Amino acid sequence: MTTFGLQTVTPVIRRSKASSLPADHPHRQEGARRALNVAVAAIGLVLAAPVMLGVAVAVKLSSPGPIFYRQRRVGLCTRSTHGGNHRRKVDLGGKPFTIYKFRTMRVSKPGQESQVWASNNDPRITPIGGFLRRTRLDELPQLLNVLLGDMNIVGPRPEQPEIFKNLRNEVPSYSARQRVRPGITGRAQITLAYDSCIDDVRKKVAADLEYIESQSFLEDLRIMALTAPVMVFRKGSR
């Protein structure tokens, strides 16, 4: 309050609509989405336990080798995205983590492992593995990845480090996908077909970036609901 002679002038402060929003609004949205994904993963593990047990037995009996398949993938981009020895400063594009799946392919002999995509008619895929891949049941162990904090239920699919490096060079916006946690399913998986060329990858990246820009609690719920027809009726893509 300022006084000039007999007059009293009171400053008027107007608050815009933007300033009335909580300063931590984006963080609350992210917290709500993360809570939803963790809750769905926890409930999913409990409900899917009998199915997972049956799948585990089928995988073990169908071909020699372990029940689960573990593989390094590129995850959320943090301030420190260097792998291995920090002095080497190898930019992986995101934090590496181990993804878990039911094994769907025959075990490779030592020295034959390579980071390549599996095709629909890949001879390495076991008979039960083909069914698991078509129905996405092989992805169920990734619910554990969600609880560990590596993934969400909904988000861009994580890629292998070598493939990630190649795609980052061919698709300029590919690294932008790492701004959010990778997911078991996503907008690209429920709307687009299986990758067969680099143009398919570009389409999926565009879908992933659209999701990142519009991500919300309700959008995650919508994608989770639309994932069910993909699994049951084998629509959409992996």
Q: Are 143 and 44 in contact (CB under 8 A)?
A: yes
**Does a structural domain hold residue 18?**
no
Domain count, the chain: 1
Taking only the tens place, the pLDDT of each residue in 52-71 is 999 999 999 999 999 999 99
Phi, psi of 179 (to 5 degrees): -70, -15
Q: Is the model's pTM score more than 0.85?
A: no
Q: Which residue has the higher pLDDT, 227 or 232?
A: 227
Q: Which domain holds residue 129?
A: 30-233
Question: What does R_g of the chain's alpha carbons equal in angstroms?
Answer: 23
Tally Cβ neighbours within 10 Å of residue 86.
9
Taking only the tens place, the pLDDT of each residue in 18-35 is 444 454 566 788 889 999
**Does a structural domain hold residue 12?**
no
**Does a structural domain hold residue 186?**
yes
In a 10 Å sphere around its CB, with 0-12 CB exposed, 13-18 middle and 19+ buried, how is residue 158 labelled?
Answer: buried
Q: Which residue has the tokens 């861009």?
A: 156
Tally Cβ neighbours within 10 Å of residue 41.
20
- Rounded average pLDDT over 120-134: 84
**Does a structural domain hold residue 37?**
yes
Cα–Cα–Cα angle for 62, 63, 64, rounded to 5 degrees: 140
pLDDT of residue 78: 78
Token couple for 21: 């929003």
Average pLDDT of the chain?
82
Q: How do beta strands 2-4 and 7-9 pair?
A: antiparallel
- Report whether pLDDT(89) > 80: no
State the maximum Cα–Cα separation within the chain, in Å, rounded to a whole number: 95
Taking only the tens place, the pLDDT of each residue in 138-196 is 999 999 999 999 999 999 999 999 999 999 999 989 999 999 999 999 999 888 877 77
Alpha-carbon gap, residue 107 to 66, rounded angstroms: 8
